[in-house]
Chain A
Amino acid sequence: MDIFGSFALILALLAAVYAFAAGLAGILTRRTLLTRSAANAGMAVFVLISLAVASLEYFFFTDNFSMAYVAAHSNRALPAFYKFAALWAGQEGSLLFWSWLLSIYVFSALFVNRNKHPELMPYAGVVMAGVQIFFLVLNNFVASPFNVLASPDAAGTLRLASLGDGHGLNPLLQYPEMVIHPPMLYLGYTGFTIPFAFALAALLGRYPGEKWIHITRRWTMIAWCFQSIGILLGAHWAYAVLGWGGYWAWDPVENASLLPWITGTAFLHSVMMQEKRGMLKVWNVWLVFTTFMLCIMGTLLTRSGIVSSVHAFAQSSIGNWFVAFLGLTFIVCFWAYWMNRDYLRSDNQLDSLVSRESSFLFNNLVLLAACFAVLWGTLFPVLSEAVSGNKISVGPPFFNKVNIPIALFLLLLTGVGPLLAWRKTSLDALKRNFAWPLAGGVASGVIAAIFGFREIYSLICLILSVFVTLTIFSEFYRGARVIAARDGTNLLSAVGDLTMRNTRRYGGYVIHFAMVLIFIGIAGSAFNKDIQKEMGVGDTIAIGPYTILCQNFDHTANNNFESERATLEVFRNGRSVMMLYPERRFFLASQVTETMVAVQTKPLHDLYVVYAGRSPETGKPVIHAYLNPLVKWIWFGGVVLVLGTLLAMIPNRRAALVLRPATASSWGEPAADARAIGAIARASDAHD
């Protein structure tokens, strides 16, 4: 069976090479048959990698410990659920999983567009196949998941060996969320390959018009959505499993996942400048290129340990491959840009500082500044060692100092930008749009300050959150009122109607609202409290409104782990409200101890209790209790964010389809509706 898997991988590589070569030949000779067959080969790669993945999963489920990868990441007692997830528990499997997800995207992109864009698809197919070749070379020759365990016998020839039981899955990964978090994040990372392929294809083929921008934007939204989910699930996993009371620590790997998200966000905004005003073409192309390169960089940081090598922990040589691929990608991108730079000439100039254009420019400026700061801080140990010979790392204060003001400025733009008109906004329009939301925001700030709410950044965040929320709701309200008055429907169904007419715009507002919720949740961390205490039976800890009473300590064991558990009763106002069971588990197969956090989550705060270990002096158990305000808002914001993105991806409902000529531009164009529905167009054509 190991032969089967590695054979499928070799064939996948051959298919990808064929897709690349035949695609290139098809472009050069202009033969449709060649491009067709290249696209078919691209789709076949997906089938072949799927077979390899199925083969590896088969080894996990049959406990085949002669396979090096299975022996290293599984054991007999591991629950089936985690045996499945063990596929991506280590380097080789992660890279295979990566290739597989990429092949799913490539398959979808090729399949969906199989009869469309004959001038664009051959180029895109070649670029996608190029990326696949790189990962398949790694899968086949550098980090093969199908290596078998073998040891030399007396004569020096290698004999297959098999272990009685595996080393087991890393206990930190034995958590339900770890089964979904990596796939989501990887779907984000790999997904950015598709917009990259289309952007590079459009540039190489000098594809006329802005159609490629629509295609690219859609695929970017899909990848962006998965990346957002992946980042938030990762934060939630860190919060719920690592047991240090927080969800974000500016760890290099977290930063790596944030970087393409930031540039992807910048692209999703600046792309509108190109669609509506023909500006920022060079910038947009480079944003897509950069996002893809940051994804590769993210994999490099995650897999190679170049940054963590400061700590002399996990390392591998695979980094060189990624550095080489990154360099090659940059050269290709730069060459494509340089040869076709006249194709990207801008149609318009900036007219006014108070305009939609300039709000997008500022949005992009600060997003890129954030990206640069995070990248710089993450790579600083490597850079400083190369320049001065000293390895210097920077900690959270650096990242927070730069990124909190940027985040607040972005929050401000979230409220202001969508309400500014293209080209130039009049003072009158400014007053009409912003007077009430601004008054609401400032009023809430004043009230909060009177009640002793003095943390300056959190206070600004509160004011801006109220301001942005009010602008978003007023947008829905004003649009819906026009429809309700015209159709005589009630306001609520008018909101639905309004949203479906321009899903992109109103979906965008929902995503903005989700960001407000997330910001509120993050601002809550300024008011975190924690207390740590040695506790015997009968001792208590007081934190916030709660009193925690230690009732008991006990031991349990099963064939996966041994556990030491505290039984804590929580009182509020003298009444018993809940029981919490923080735990420490010693995993037998991997010989590692992990904490199991007990969290009681409420809309206003989380009570988060960790069994931190035993005191080195007295041997008594140490309990660490945290009271974290508003954390739940972050996760709730994540759910709203996903719903908003899905909404933005639904095609618009066109009430006036028949009235438009067939050649008019496609979905997402409010101007197209405008001809048919004047009243609504007046309310909306200045926007979107």
Chain B
Amino acid sequence: MNARVKFLVGSGIIIITLACLAYVGFTQSKTYYHTISELSSLQGGALHQRMRVSGNVRTGTIEHVSGRVNFVLEEQGKALTVSYIGRDPLPDTFKDGAQALVEGRLTPDGQFVAEQVQAKCASKYEANPSQAPAAGRPGQTSSSTGAPAAGDRS
């Protein structure tokens, strides 16, 4: 076997190993993004996926109950009841009318259990749509709720 063939075999092994690792990592961490109106049409396995949903916090719906925070997200007239069970404090930008992005899973009764909440003050966003910082972390004015969410900032 000449060196070229050996090198190609070695490369093949490396690439296949990496591809397997990538596949495993992908299935572990993939998160679907859905709009609120799409949620009602999801079926089967799609209902149990980890997902992200965004919308505006309906005014007056934020209530703090023991161990969780409940609120209603709305987008294009559709509403979604969300229950935040994360242990991190909610971002300061999380207020009535704020744009929020929640990450978690749907329960069988159509509620959404969120482990992470990011929020962005709506008025600030409209006042200054182009504001992205120099380092270019888009969406920086949103405050996220903790360590894992920082990666989801943008």
Contact = CB atoms under 8 A, between A and B. Distances in A.
Which residue among A182, A373, A393, A406 has the maximum number of chain B CB atoms within 10 Å of its CB? A393
Nearest to A245: B147
A530 B6 CA distance: 47
Interface residues of A, number: 90
Interface string A386-419: 0000111111111111100110010000000000
Which range contains the number of B residues in contact with the other chain?
A: 35 or more
A613 B92 contact: yes
A616 B65 CA distance: 9
A308 B22 contact: no
B22 A398 contact: yes
B139 A591 contact: no
Nearest to A173: B133
Interface string A150-171: 0000000000000000010010
Contacts of A253: 135-138, 154
Contacts, number: 228
Given A390-B32, A612-B88, A314 B138 contact: yes
Contacts of B66: 617
Interface stretch (A84-92, A503-511, A637-645): A84-92
Contact of A314 (B25, B28, B32, B129): B129
Interface in A403-445: 405-406, 409
B150 A242 contact: yes
Interface in B134-151: 134-144, 146-151
A245 B129 CA distance: 29
Contacts of B77: none
Interface string A336-362: 000000000000011111010010011
Contacts of A301: 136
A237 B135 contact: yes
A667 to B, nearest CB: 31
B135 A311 contact: no
Given A90-B130, A358-B3, A398 B25 contact: yes
A312 B54 contact: yes
Contacts of B15: 365, 369
Contacts of B91: 613
Nearest to A369: B18
Contact of A405 (B18, B130, B138): B18
A89 B138 CA distance: 12
Nearest to A592: B141
A591 B124 CA distance: 8
A352 B30 contact: no
A25 interface: no
A498 B15 CA distance: 39
B89 A622 contact: yes
A361 B33 contact: no
Which residue among A181, A586, A616 has the maximum number of chain B CB atoms within 10 Å of its CB? A616
A252 B150 CA distance: 11
Contacts of B29: 394-398
Given A90-B130, A244-B150, A392-B32, A308 B90 contact: no
B150 A251 contact: yes
A599 to B, nearest CB: 15
B134 to A, nearest CB: 4
Nearest to A584: B92
A405 B17 contact: yes
Nearest to A169: B133
Contact of A72 (B131, B140, B152): B131
B54 A89 contact: no
Nearest to B149: A244
Contacts of B37: none
Contacts of A355: 3
Nearest to A73: B131
Nearest to B151: A249
A393 B18 contact: no
A326 B31 CA distance: 29
A616 B90 CA distance: 7
B16 to A, nearest CB: 11
Contact of A400 (B25, B69, B132, B136): B25
Which residue among A88, A250, A391 has the maximum number of chain B CB atoms within 10 Å of its CB? A391
Contact of B89 (A250, A400, A615): A615
Contact of B3 (A307, A352, A397, A590): A352
A399 B25 contact: yes
Nearest to A172: B140
B111 interface: no
A613 to B, nearest CB: 4
Interface in A562-611: 586, 590-593
A396 B3 CA distance: 37
A591 B121 contact: yes
A264 interface: no
B137 A251 contact: yes
Contact of B154 (A252, A316, A400): A252
A246 interface: yes
A65 B152 CA distance: 34
A614 B94 CA distance: 13
B105 interface: no
Contacts of B31: 392-395
Which residue among B93, B136, B143 has the maximum number of chain A CB atoms within 10 Å of its CB? B136
A172 B14 CA distance: 41
Contacts of B118: 311
Contacts of B150: 238, 242, 244, 246, 249, 251
Given A394-B25, A396-B151, A397-B29, A94 B143 contact: no
Contacts of B146: 244, 612, 624
B41 interface: no
Contacts of B87: 532
A76 interface: no
B33 A393 contact: yes
Given A313-B120, A532-B87, 19 more contacts: A90-B134, A251-B154, A253-B137, A253-B138, A308-B139, A311-B139, A313-B138, A350-B3, A350-B4, A365-B14, A366-B14, A394-B30, A395-B31, A396-B151, A398-B30, A592-B121, A612-B89, A613-B89, A615-B89
4 tightest A-B contacts by CB? A302-B136, A249-B151, A401-B25, A313-B139
22 contacts: A72-B131, A90-B131, A92-B130, A94-B134, A94-B136, A170-B140, A242-B153, A249-B153, A302-B138, A311-B54, A362-B14, A365-B11, A393-B52, A394-B26, A396-B29, A398-B22, A398-B26, A398-B30, A405-B18, A530-B147, A612-B88, A616-B89
Interface of A: 72-73, 85, 88-92, 94, 97, 167, 170, 172-173, 178, 181-182, 185, 234, 237-238, 242, 244-246, 249-253, 256, 301-303, 305, 307-308, 310-316, 349-353, 355, 358, 361-362, 365-366, 369, 373, 376, 381, 390-402, 405-406, 409, 530, 532, 586, 590-593, 612-617, 622, 624
